[in-house]
Amino acid sequence: MIKRYSRKELTDIWSEENKYKIWLDVEIAAAQAMEKLGQIPKGVSSVVRKKAKINVKRIHQIEGQVKHDVIAFLTSVTERAGIKARYLHQGMTSSDVLDTSFNIQLVQSGKIILKDLDQTLKVLKKQARKYKFTPCMGRSHGIHAEPITFGLKLASFYEEFKRNRKRLVYAIDEVSTCAISGAVGTFANINPNVEKHVAKKLNLKVEPISTQVIPRDRHAFYFSVLGIIAGSIERVATEIRHLQRTEVYELQEYFSKNQKGSSAMPHKKNPILSENLTGLARMVRSTVVPALENIALWHERDISHSSVERNIGPDANITIDFALVRLTNILDNMIVYPKKMLENLNLTKGLIFSQELMLELTKTGLTREKSYKKVQSYAKKCFAENLDLFYVIQSDKYIMSKISPKKLKLIFDYSKHFRNVNLIYKRVFK
């Protein structure tokens, strides 16, 4: 992933230095178990731990000759640690190291992303409470529908990100497995207790059954969850972009003192951060299909998944981390315009209360169909002539004979729409 959309905490996880460090941890843990089982001489693991140093440049040099990354790594370790290092990797296959290490990188990334989600949830909760009863327009198909509160919008996002957090916890658990089972997963040349020891040492679970590789449905689920989180990010970003449009302008992204909008038009303040998040979300979601396609490998293993994971592993995790941090900052610093929200509520001059009026007419003896038709005809008239529905209705003798002036005022009052806000909040913010 490019530096522009990366944070050091995540890029460090996906650095070659960290990858090879994890490889070494796996090999040392396996060697410890083999020593206890009497399969290799005692002291191998301690010597390797003391003497082995990760030299990325040297590993690349060796790989250029042998054309195998794990062999190059082991050769480099042996050069530094000495002859005892030749006992490393006994009975193991490359995938034992690669898959276990890849899973550790996913777990490391996932835990940071969980922290990101916690911060997003914290800000959403704060803003939802602040704007709990701030009236704004609810829209369906982009058209004014009925009143809601801005807080309810934010509460909806909060609940969605709560679900995302639960999914990610489960996805991390899914990939927290270790396989040290040999060439085709049968433990033919390695004791299963080695796997058990490595798993315990590295805070993983034993993979119940593997081939040469850990089953990729686990990884597909993890990347799918990242894709869903990306979708949630875009949902919020899209809302902000729409609400910042000139015609709406109910909120805007924070615009710093020396910030520039358009290079050509000095008056513009563009929702660039939210637009950026929309693009980043697309990038994360693009990793989901390749991850799903990695599930179906040939027989006990091929390497078609390898090139995919070398790309999507760092890209998806680094990008979603960056996007969540950016989203949190946007939400925390956004500028909300309650007066404009109220102005937009009144833009259609009472038409947003059409459903309540229709339902009240059904109580007077009119069928729902006739009530709908009657209200719709008045709505069309108001649209066409820029009239206020409340006053137009007052000219209808039939309606006014059935609905008292006091009742009519209640129909055209916002309070009914907000009477269950507390109930909804209790459901969300438990």
- CATH number, domain of 260, equals 1.20.200.10
DSSP 3-state assignment of 251? strand
CATH number of the domain to which 26 belongs = 1.10.275.10
Q: Kindly list the distances between the CA atom of residue 236 and the CA atoms of 165, 221, 331, 332, in Å, as whole numbers in the listed order.
A: 16, 23, 9, 13
| Domain that residue 377 falls in | 351-411
Answer whether residue 375 is part of any domain.
yes
Q: Write the CB contacts of 317 (distance below 8 Å, at least 6 apart in sequence).
A: 10, 13, 14, 106, 109, 110, 113, 226
Residue among 205, 213, 218 at smallest CA distance from 181: 213
| Alpha helices (runs of H) in 84-187, residue ranges in sequence order | 94-130, 150-175
Check residue 284 and give its pLDDT. Answer: 98
Do 119 and 239 lie in one domain? The reply is yes
Chain-centroid distance of CA 319 in Å reads 10
CATH number of the domain to which 391 belongs = 1.10.40.30
Answer whether residue 1 is part of any domain.
no
Check residue 421 and give its pLDDT. Answer: 97
CB–CB of 251/334 below 8 Å?
yes
Residue among 249, 213, 240, 427 at smallest CA distance from 337: 249
Do 65 and 206 lie in one domain? The reply is no
Chain-centroid distance of CA 156 in Å reads 15
Do 125 and 50 lie in one domain? The reply is no
- The DSSP output letter for 351 is G
Check residue 398 and give its pLDDT. Answer: 87
Residue among 39, 63, 20, 1 at smallest CA distance from 187: 39
Q: What share of the chain is helix, strand, coil (3-state, %, to 5)?
A: 65, 5, 30
Do 325 and 204 lie in one domain? The reply is yes
Residues in a beta bridge with 139: 144
CA gap 124, 112 in Å, rounded: 19
* Regions of the chain where pLDDT drops below 50: none
Check residue 356 and give its pLDDT. Answer: 94
Check residue 262 and give its pLDDT. Answer: 62
Do 335 and 253 lie in one domain? The reply is yes
First to last CA, the chain: 38
The catalytic site residues sit at 141, 262
Strand (E) positions, 286-419? 335-336
Instruction: Work out how many domains the chain is built from and give that number.
Output: 3
Do 338 and 358 lie in one domain? The reply is no
Answer whether residue 417 is part of any domain.
no
Chain-centroid distance of CA 104 in Å reads 19
Do 186 and 285 lie in one domain? The reply is yes
Residue with tokens 């490391």: 108
CB–CB of 164/119 below 8 Å?
no
Check residue 264 and give its pLDDT. Answer: 67
Q: Phi/psi zone of residue 255: left (φ > 0), alpha (ψ -120 to 50 degrees), beta?
A: beta
Do 238 and 328 lie in one domain? The reply is yes
CB–CB of 55/24 below 8 Å?
no
CA gap 221, 288 in Å, rounded: 9
Residue with tokens 């066409």: 384
